Every structure is written in structure tokens, then in C-alpha cells.
Structure 1
Amino acid sequence: MKRIQKIAVIGGGGRTGQYLVNQLIEKGYPLKLLLRHPENFTIQSPLVSIVHGDVLDAHAVHELVEGCDAVLSTVGQRKGEPLVASGAILNVLNAAGGRPVRYVVLAGLNVDAPTDVKGEETQKATEWMRSTFPEIHADRQKSYELLAQSDAGWTMVRVPYIEFNGDRSEVKVSATDSPGTRIDAADIAAFMIAQLTDDTWLRKAPFISN
């Protein structure tokens, strides 16, 4: 496996993303962060450089990914704004330009994969998302299809309800169904970072929970 030298982070200014950034800094990784509002970003470290821009701007994403060996994304849909999931993935894949960039992206339970055997609770959550936010659901599903059809070294991490206690605990992982109903953002961050040095879930979409 190629050693990761520098990491691009998308969504690092968000609630889950800040856990991710702090843990990456603790591990000593040099980072490039794509931020729409860098003036509001409070994490300070000499390991962090900032690219000012939006993930839906192809030029900004190209600047972000340039020189990086991995991309970690926790970007979520913004209320009242253009659909982001599939557009972000297209921009990252295009910016990588066929280079072997490790790409780990966060998603919800509602995304379907061919190997899924979703239980009642997970299926209920999926159907709720499909009926309540059909456009967002379709866009997130499209993001999975784009990854699956690409040659990229991707992992899509699917999670249930996110808590923000910062408490680390056991993480359960499944290829077929969500093993639980909640997970802490600190554990999401740790699992995503672990994918940088572990190919167990390469080109797969595991469910994780506490």
C-alpha cells in the first residue's frame, strides 16, 4: 500500500469534519482543507493549509487535490442549496485524474449497495429518506454509482444517527446492514482515518455504528 504523505479534507469545517481534522493533526498528517468560510475555522496547526472555495467548484477541488495522496470527505447536503453529493464526487474523481488517490467519503444509511441485506430499521430509514427527500436521496445514490463505476480506491462509510459527545467506544462494522442506530462523530473520524492504511473495505461501502 502506498504511504499517505498528504491528505485533502472536504467538510472539515462541519461538526463531524472537525473531529476528523483534529484526529488527523494528532497523527501528524499534513492537511489541505477546502473551506467556504475559512474566517470561521478555529482549528490552528502548522500542519494545515487552506484552499478557499466550494466543493462544487471544479477549479477549487483541483487545487485541493493537487499534491495529495488521499481525500477524506464529510461534506453533507446544505439546506436550500444545490445538491452536493454526486457533484463533489465527480469533481474529486476528475481532479485525481487517474492518480491512485485514496478516497474515503461519508454517507447515510439510505444509500443502497448490491450486497446489502438491510434489516427492518435500516430499510425503514431508507424509505423515509426516499419519500421525504427524494432529490437528495437520488443524488446520494448517484454518488455511490459514480464511485462504483470508477477505478478509484474509494470507500463509502455509511452511518446512522450521529452523536457529538466525543466519546470513543467500540465500532461495529457490517457489509450488509447497519449494526446499530447511533454512532459518535469521534468514532466516524477514527474509522475513516483507519481506511488510509487498511484495504479491507477498499471499493466497498461498509455500515458502521457503536
Structure 2
Amino acid sequence: MKNIKIAVLGGGGKTGKYLVNQLLKQGFSIKLLLRTPENFTIQNSQIEIIKGDAIDANAIRLLLKGCRAVISTIGQRPGEPMVASRATIHILKTMQKYNIKRYVLLAGINIDTPFDNKSEKTTLATNWMKTNYPEIQKDRQLTYDLLNDSVVDWTLVRVPFIEFSDVSSELVISLEDCTGDKISARNIADFMVKEMMDSEFSRKSPFISSI
């Protein structure tokens, strides 16, 4: 799969590094958008680094050129402009320009969709996020709306508390509710790469968590 190049956003983050390693393990080439490439420690000839910011349209164009799919684990940094929806606006536009079909991205359980049947526990967690981080919540919800209004083959993966470990557990996957309290970064990476290839949850927002 070395001729198949994947655009990755958030690859320098805690979860993103697991994603990068999983893509390399599966034999993909990677174009990686990094704001501070000098801090990135994974060395591999199949990685091409683009220096730039996800909210910059030109950086996204450079990143996506020549790629077959886009995967993002990008997170919101405190005190900085909202990144999720702005990045997605640029990504969706550029995907159309380069005829890229597949976009898989990560979000929290606080995103609402019309297909949800959230338990009291998940609803409390969602409402806590809305109360304490209203701007981030609004930005992430807007991202879902942008995806829904697009024509691309997207999957928005919703996860609970992330444990940064290589533990690989059996997963519970649901389109209605998050039944588990946590998930490992390794499990997230494995699921996102598999979903990128299989499109089992095309244009859907599955919750994934450890049993």
C-alpha cells in the first residue's frame, strides 16, 4: 500500500501518534500536517511532513494533494481559535478539488446526531461539555453539520475518555449511545484505519468504547 498516501491531521498529538504508527504498520504512506515538525519523533521514510496549521486553507491544499483519504485526530488547544469546523471547511473544499472521497475524524461523545438514543450517563456528560466548554461544543457540533451537508464519504468517530496505552481491548460499537467509560488510543487508531478502508459506517457517527 506504499503507493496509497493518506493525509493526517493531529498526528503530532497523543492519540495521533498511535494513528501514525498504525498507518505505517498497515503499509500506507503518510502526509502529515505539523505546526512544529521539530517536536515530532517518529522517523520513517514513508512520512512526508508539511509544516502548517489546520485552519490555513493553503496548508490543507498542500497536505491533501496526492492523497487518497484524510484522517484527523486534531484537538482544540486552549486559548486558540476554534479549529474543528474551520479545518473541516478547508478539507471538504479541497477534497472536492482533488476528488478525494474518504474522511475519517475523531470527536467526543458530546456530539449530538438525529440517530442518538443517549443514556442518562452520556446525556449528563454531553450537557457538562455544553455548560463548561460551550464554544468547543458548538464548533464540534458545527463540524458534524458541515459533514452532513457535504457529499463526501465521512465517518465521525465518537469516543469517551482516552487512555494513552497500547492495550487492545474488545470494542462496543453503537450508533445510538456510548456504553463504555474509556478506550485506549491504540483501539482508536486501529478502528479509524480499518474504517478508512472498509467504510462500514459511511456518513455515520459511531460511538466506540472498550468493554
Partner residue in 2 for 1:7: 6
Q: Which amino acid aligns with 2:186?
A: A
Matched, 1:158 2:158: yes
User: Where do 1:105-120 residues align within 5 Å?
Assistant: 105-120=105-120
- Give the fraction of aligned pairs with identical amino acids, expressed as a percent: 52
Letter in 2 for 1:199: S
| 2:143 corresponds to | 143
Per-residue Cα deviation, 1:75-125 (whole angstroms, up to 9, x for no partner): 000011000110111110011125242100000001001100000111001
Give matches, 1:32-47, under 5 Å.
32-47=31-46
CA distance in 1, matches of 2:165, 2:25: 18
What amino acid does structure 2 have at the position aligned with 1:22?
N
Amino acid at match of 1:45: N
Superposition misfits of 4+ residues, deviation over 2 angstroms: none
Describe the SS at the equivalent of 2:198.
coil
* SS of residue matched to 1:195: helix
Cα distance in structure 2, aligned partners of 1:48 and 1:200:
27
RMSD (Å) for aligned C-alpha atoms? 1.0
User: Where do 1:42-121 residues align within 5 Å?
Assistant: 42-97=41-96, 99-121=99-121
**AA paired with 1:136?**
I
Aligned to 1:186: 186
How many correspondences in the alignment? 207
Between the aligned partners of 1:177 and 1:76, the Cα distance in structure 2 is 22
Contact 1:166 1:185 in 2 (8 A): yes
Q: CA deviation at 1:172?
A: 1.0
> TM-score scaled by structure 2?
0.96
Counterpart in 2 of 1:202?
202
Structure 1 segments unaligned to the other structure (5+ residues) = none
Q: Which runs of 5+ in 2 are unaligned?
A: none
Cα distance in structure 1, aligned partners of 2:7 and 2:207 = 23
1:30 equivalent in structure 2: 29
